[in-house]
């Protein structure tokens, strides 16, 4: 098991392959709440109100900016769904796990 929160995202060099399905499945066992959906790591977070939801979205966006690895974020009044995939590798990379793990810390 990797402690993804201790790592930093790194640019993927051209030709970098995505993580294998076995690697993704193994790491997902240690990443609470996330699942593989349509080729991306995805998790939906629920909150008490719009203020908490938007505060979470802003914090998640700050992580994405700091790591220079940006997710798709969809949110409404009490819910936020975040999807991480690495377009340059055509699948999941360690960067996706790094950002997903750091996002989880926001609600710990």
On whether the CB atoms of residues 47 and 98 are closer than 8 A, the answer is no
Task: Specify if 72 maps to a domain.
Answer: yes
Task: Specify if 11 maps to a domain.
Answer: no
pLDDT at position 108 is: 73
Task: Specify if 22 maps to a domain.
Answer: no
Task: Specify if 12 maps to a domain.
Answer: no
On whether the CB atoms of residues 32 and 100 are closer than 8 A, the answer is no
Task: Specify if 3 maps to a domain.
Answer: no
Which domain range does residue 107 map to? 35-108
* Count of C-beta atoms within a 10 Å radius of residue 92: 24
Task: Specify if 6 maps to a domain.
Answer: no
Q: What is the mean pLDDT of residues 67-77?
A: 97
Task: Specify if 104 maps to a domain.
Answer: yes
Task: Return mean pLDDT, the chain.
Answer: 95
pLDDT at position 2 is: 73
On whether the CB atoms of residues 83 and 41 are closer than 8 A, the answer is yes
Task: Specify if 95 maps to a domain.
Answer: yes
Give the C-alpha separation, 105 to 102, whole Å.
Answer: 5
The two tokens of residue 31 are: 């990443």
Q: What share of the chain has pLDDT > 90, as a percent?
A: 96
Per residue in 30-62, pLDDT tens?
999 999 999 999 999 999 999 999 999 999 999
Q: What is the phi-psi region of residue 53: left when phi exceeds 0, alpha when psi lies from -120 to 50, beta otherwise? A: alpha
Count of structural domains, the chain: 1
């Amino acid at each position: 098991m990797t402690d993804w929160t201790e790592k930093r995202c790194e640019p993927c060099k051209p030709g970098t392959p995505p993580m294998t399905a076995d690697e993704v499945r193994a790491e997902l066992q240690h990443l609470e709440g996330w699942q593989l959906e349509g080729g991306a790591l995805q998790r939906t977070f629920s909150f008490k109100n719009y203020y908490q939801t938007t505060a979470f979205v802003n914090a998640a966006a700050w992580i994405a900016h700091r790591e220079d690895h940006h997710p798709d974020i969809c949110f409404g009044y009490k819910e936020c769904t975040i999807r991480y995939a690495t377009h340059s590798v055509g699948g999941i990379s360690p960067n996706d796990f790094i950002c997903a793990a750091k996002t989880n810390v926001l609600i710990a």
